[in-house]
Amino acid sequence: MIRTLLVTTALCLSAPSLAETITVDPGADAQERLQEALILAEPGDVVELGAGRFDLVDGLSLDVDNVTIRGAGMDQTVLNFAGQLGAGEGLLVTSDHVVLRDFAIEDSKGDGIKSKGADDIVYYKVRVEWTRGPHPENGAYAIYPVESKNVLVDSVTTIGSSDAGIYVGQSENIIVRNSVAKYNVAGIEIENSVGADVYNNIAVNNTGGILVFDLPNIPKQGGRNVRVFDNLVIDNNTPNFAPEGNIVAEVPTGMGIMVMSHYDVEVFENRLAENGTGNILIVSYTKEQNDPKYNPKPIGVRVFENIHGRAGYKPAFPGGDQLKAAFGGAIPPIIEDGTGENIQIGDDVAVLSMGLTKPGQPLTDAKPALAAAASQPFDGRQLKPITLPQAMEDAIQ
């Protein structure tokens, strides 16, 4: 482990302070040397990971504020957890003002990178992958910030998660952009969060491309103000390989963008095609639940200016084949279950309403039909863009 001195400006915008670059290279005792560097790092330090493969047998953790972990590139610096003895995450971060950049994590037994209660956290040019491809015993989440304020996920790649490739949950003020999610169950998921912009991403070959969910019995309720725009969401037809009992195990194969039980979501200027069940699905939460604070309905969802290619040719839900036949070989690319409030759809494509009247109704009660035109003028964009502290943007320049 090599230590060199430099002057850096703290990410939290404090005055310049004397900080160190701590260099750790692959090789013998990499586990001990790398974890020691993360323990001994002080605010302002950079833990520099050399090029090559680090063969690790246990998870790593960081609990020091204002630290950068930086590799030589997501294909040059690889933290390999194929020999991991425990079932935990590859890297756990529980401190604020942290930047994770330019390295890869492969084959962790649990989640790839989890950050919990870590405000002002940046994931940049990080790859997390399970190299055997889709498998139910892969880790649940690749990139997993939770319970945080100010989250930036930029230019990451996730492959093979048995739940979500990029998951942001119970958080506020979020940007997910310029990233690739493929061969996950859910490519990108925003869950029980307030204020998120998800844009300029590629979601391909997942079970479902992009999910915006609000779930019951979770401390943070009332997910709202999410914009999903300018994404490429195509060919998300990988069979669902989530372990039984996971909520995403119920995501139908062939789903492009799915909004469930959320307030104020805008889905616009996305390009969607070759999603066998549908390009966009808007539904209520259907399971029985006893959370008095929970709203199971989608409310205030606006869909507009999206470009739709082929969809609905292989619907993966009960009765889908009959509906496909009734519509001449493919159901409409946008599906809504009929239970939502103030759902506005401005795309120039057919919309299938399942005709349900309340959350939890079985599909056997459905009365599918083409949805009637909205009775009120389409409102278009209402939500404001998300802005993050300038220091977070500066950290990736």
Rounded to an integer, the average pLDDT of 148-160 is 98
Let me know if residue 54 belongs to a domain: no
Structural domain boundaries enclosing 251: 130-380
Instruction: Give the C-alpha separation, 397 to 393, whole Å.
Output: 7
Let me know if residue 47 belongs to a domain: no
| Confidence band of 372 (pLDDT split at 50, 70, 90) | low
Instruction: Give the C-alpha separation, 182 to 180, whole Å.
Output: 6
Instruction: Give the C-alpha separation, 338 to 363, whole Å.
Output: 11
Q: 174 in the Ramachandran plot: left (φ > 0), alpha (ψ -120 to 50) or beta?
A: beta
Let me know if residue 155 belongs to a domain: yes
Angle at 387 between CA 382 and CA 390, to 5 degrees: 165
For the stretch 96-140, pLDDT in tens is: 999 999 999 999 999 999 999 999 999 999 999 999 999 999 999
Let me know if residue 336 belongs to a domain: yes
pLDDT at 10: 40
Q: Which residue has the higher pLDDT, 87 or 34?
A: 34
Let me know if residue 8 belongs to a domain: no
| Confidence band of 374 (pLDDT split at 50, 70, 90) | low
Let me know if residue 199 belongs to a domain: yes
Let me know if residue 98 belongs to a domain: no
pTM comes to: 0.94
| Confidence band of 21 (pLDDT split at 50, 70, 90) | very high
pLDDT at 373: 58
Number of domains in the chain: 1
pLDDT at 282: 97
**Whose CA is closest to 280, among 337, 195, 199?**
337
Let me know if residue 79 belongs to a domain: no
pLDDT at 4: 44
For the stretch 191-236, pLDDT in tens is: 999 999 999 999 999 999 999 999 999 989 899 999 999 999 999 9
Provide Rg for the chain, Cα atoms. 22
Rounded to an integer, the average pLDDT of 366-371 is 88
pLDDT at 380: 78
- Mean pLDDT rounded to a whole number for the chain: 93
Strands 351-353 and 369-370: antiparallel
